[in-house]
Chain A
Amino acid sequence: GNSVTQMEGPVTLSEEAFLTINCTYTATGYPSLFWYVQYPGEGLQLLLKATKADDKGSNKGFEATYRKETTSFHLEKGSVQVSDSAVYFCALIVNNNDMRFGAGTRLTVKP
């Protein structure tokens, strides 16, 4: 079946540190891949997405590249800020079927 595995948290970083949150997937067919962010007390917000192999999604300094050969979609940011503290979810869709989410990774950035 279709599924997403992302690195377990929590992740704690100092401000301006480099961030990587790993995400790998299993899918039949050709999935679209997403990263969502959930701030405390809020719903999910789409952070970035990629719909085909080698596509790079980017937004607000975050990037992720769709790697078909390694079935991965790792999230990176060069310099995190306190305001980036949130829970990050990797997700996939195949053929517009239901969206499958990873377990989520809680990021805390300390000043």
Chain B
Amino acid sequence: KAGVTQTPRYLIKTRGQQVTLSCSPISGHRSVSWYQQTPGQGLQFLFEYFSETQRNKGNFPGRFSGRQFSNSRSEMNVSTLELGDSALYLCASSLKGEKETQYFGPGTRLLVL
């Protein structure tokens, strides 16, 4: 069974631009959660989607948004990029949102210049 995949793996953008990251969960998993990992703040929860609906949201500004499609694939979008958005963005999938059994993807490393 294929694991969680994320595309692209690496991305370079400039301040003010917007970016879209994609996450394909494990087949059959309906929940996708997104996390931001930075050296200063560590791993922080962004949001969770289940059956195309946002179920939980972390403490991030409205520039960070996401969505989930009917095939459970998820995208997150960051608008008006700031230098501080440079991070590793991880997604994790689970069957129904059970965090105890979520599987993480390899992440997308975003660099904002």
A residues adjacent to B (C-beta < 8 A): 32, 34, 36, 41-45, 49, 51, 89, 91, 93, 96-104
Provide 25 A-B residue pairs closer than 8 Å at the C-beta atoms, listed in order of the A residue: A32-B100, A34-B100, A41-B106, A43-B4, A43-B90, A43-B104, A43-B105, A43-B107, A44-B92, A44-B104, A45-B104, A51-B100, A89-B43, A93-B100, A96-B100, A97-B56, A97-B99, A98-B45, A98-B48, A99-B33, A99-B45, A100-B45, A102-B42, A103-B42, A104-B42
B interface size (C-beta, 8 A): 20
Q: Chain A residues with Cβ under 8 A from B33's Cβ? A: 98-99
B residues adjacent to A (C-beta < 8 A): 4, 33, 42-45, 48, 56, 58, 90, 92, 97-100, 102, 104-107
Assembly CA distance A64 to B63 (angstroms): 39
Closest chain A residue, CB of each to CB of B105: A43
Say how far B101's CB is from chain A's closest CB, in angstroms: 8
Assembly CA distance A44 to B45 (angstroms): 14
Q: Chain A residues with Cβ under 8 A from B107's Cβ? A: 42-43
Q: Chain B residues with Cβ under 8 A from A36's Cβ? A: 104
- Asked if A96 and B90 make an inter-chain contact with CB atoms under 8 angstroms apart, the answer reads no
Assembly CA distance A41 to B100 (angstroms): 23
User: When A49-B100, A96-B99 are in contact, do A101 and B105 touch as well, CB less than 8 Å?
Assistant: no
Q: Chain B residues with Cβ under 8 A from A43's Cβ? A: 4, 90, 92, 104-107
Shortest beta-carbon contacts, A-B, top 6: A43-B104, A101-B43, A98-B45, A44-B104, A43-B106, A103-B42
User: When A43-B105, A89-B43 are in contact, do A98 and B100 touch as well, CB less than 8 Å?
Assistant: no
- Asked if A101 and B56 make an inter-chain contact with CB atoms under 8 angstroms apart, the answer reads no
Closest chain A residue, CB of each to CB of B109: A41
- Asked if A96 and B97 make an inter-chain contact with CB atoms under 8 angstroms apart, the answer reads yes
Q: Chain A residues with Cβ under 8 A from B43's Cβ? A: 89, 91, 101, 104
Q: With contacts A97-B56, A99-B102, A103-B42 known, what are 6 further pairs, Cβ within 8 A? A: A32-B100, A43-B104, A44-B104, A93-B99, A96-B97, A101-B42
Interface-central residue, B99, B102, B104, by most chain A CB under 10 Å? B99
Closest chain A residue, CB of each to CB of B103: A46
